[in-house]
Amino acid sequence: MDKTIINTKNAPGAIGPYSQGVKVGNFIYTSGQLPINPKTGELVNDDIKNATKMSLENVKAILEKAGSSLDKVVKTLVLLKDINDFAAMNEVYGEYFTGDYPARSCFQVGKLPKDALVEIEVVAIAE
């Protein structure tokens, strides 16, 4: 099975030895997306709702570059700096995923890169 690397300027560039996304067979795997604005390089960390939106916009951009979309997502992983932000994160998350929801895991973690409030990764079906 071939592996295709996904790279777009519409999401933050990798800052280490990893790819924004990888397509293998009929699936796309994204790296965890911090809430970094790809146009400015600035971390969106003013509140969890804005941070969640930015992370999901970055995921969306990677999927679109690969020819897929958020409605093809089958699994998400959400990492939170503070689990008390779950309800607010979930409100924004629900604006991006409607209808047939993907499976999801959500955890509070000790610390995220750049001290971000959230990081989100997905697995999606390639179209």
Contact 5, 26 (CB under 8 A): no
* Residues pairing with 104 in the sheet: 76
* Residues pairing with 120 in the sheet: 33, 78
Contact 62, 11 (CB under 8 A): yes
Identify whether 127 is a catalytic site residue: no
Among 70, 74, 88, 106, which one carries the catalytic annotation?
A: 106
For the chain, the helix, strand and coil percentages under 3-state DSSP, each to the nearest 5: 30, 30, 40
Q: What is the rounded distance in angstroms from the CA atom of residue 45 to the CA atom of residue 119?
A: 11
Q: Which SS3 state, helix, strand or coil, does residue 110 take? A: coil
- Tell me which residues are annotated as active site: 106
